[in-house]
Amino acid sequence: MAHRVCFLAQLNNGPAYREIEVDFQYFSGFSVSQKQKSIKSLHENIRLVNKDIRVLEVSTKSPDPIGVELSAFNLCFHDKNSGKEYSLENVFQSSKVFEHGGPYRDLLEVHPRDAKRDERLKSSGELICFSLNGEDWELEPKSMFYDWIYMHALLRDSKLANAILEYNAFTDIEFNHNKSINCQARSAAIFVSLSQRGILEKTLKNKEELRKIYPSAKRGQISIFE
């Protein structure tokens, strides 16, 4: 057994998303087929919580092509300074500023997996902020910068921006909330919430408005097998 977080888009006022932890049967192995078995089990148990949940796996392992396209490895961010497009993962990693180095802009030009694994991201001291196109982003709320670049990238892709509105819940089978902070599934849920409320573009233009969308309470924990 394992458990993962499911991010639910909240369409009313207040926080833009809610997190629940769901237990499910995990199939070990690194192959896509094994990952997709785990995703199927996870989604089946999420629907036991609420049959009206329309859930999408957002990762390169997603059985749905839309979910694969929405992965941070595949979603592209338009850099207004260079006029080029880069993988969202590359933009995120190349924007990190540490005590003893960064931002490492050369990470824009490598494979997303290489950008994520670059040794300098581990050996440059504590992360102190993010910097992109001359603007610095503080570390609180913890996922705000990642969510911002994700939603900006998605907003430019009208096909994906429309397709994602068919869903109201999102998972990432690789995301471990005990070890990581940023998650493409959370960003997707926020995008849907703000889009449905009609405040997406307004919120993306104002950091103070963006801060308001984050919940202060801890996630609810749901165990299907208790």
* DSSP assignments along 42-83, one per residue: HHHHHHHH-TT--EEE-STT-SSHHHHHTSTTT-EEE-TTT-
User: Helix count (H) and strand count (E) of the chain?
Assistant: 10, 10
Q: Per-residue confidence at 217, pLDDT binned at 50, 70, 90?
A: very low
pLDDT tens figures, 132-177 = 999 999 999 999 999 999 999 999 999 999 999 999 999 999 999 8
Percent of the chain with pLDDT over 90: 86
Which among 154, 94, 89, 98 has a CA at the least distance from the CA of 125?
Answer: 98
Q: Residue 184 pLDDT > 60, yes or no?
A: yes
Q: Residue 111 pLDDT > 50, yes or no?
A: yes
Note the Cα 81 to chain centre separation in Å.
24
This prediction's pTM: 0.92
Q: Which two tokens stand for residue 216?
A: 């202060």
Q: What is the pLDDT of residue 127?
A: 98
Question: End-to-end CA distance of the chain, in Å?
Answer: 12
Task: Taking the CA atoms of 118, 124, 129 and 134 in sequence, report the sign of the dihedral they define.
Answer: negative
Distance CA 86, CA 75 (A): 8
What are the phi and psi torsion angles at 77 (to 5°)? -105, 130
Q: What is the pLDDT of residue 223?
A: 38
Distance CA 24, CA 153 (A): 31
Q: What is the pLDDT of residue 219?
A: 41
Q: What number of other Cβ atoms are within 10 A of residue 58's Cβ?
A: 32
What one-character DSSP code corresponds to residue 194?
A: H
Cβ pair 221, 20 in contact under 8 A: yes
The larger pLDDT score, comparing residue 60 to residue 52, is at: 60
The region of weakest confidence among 28-32, 39-43, 63-67, 170-174 is 28-32
Q: Residue 221 pLDDT > 70, yes or no?
A: no
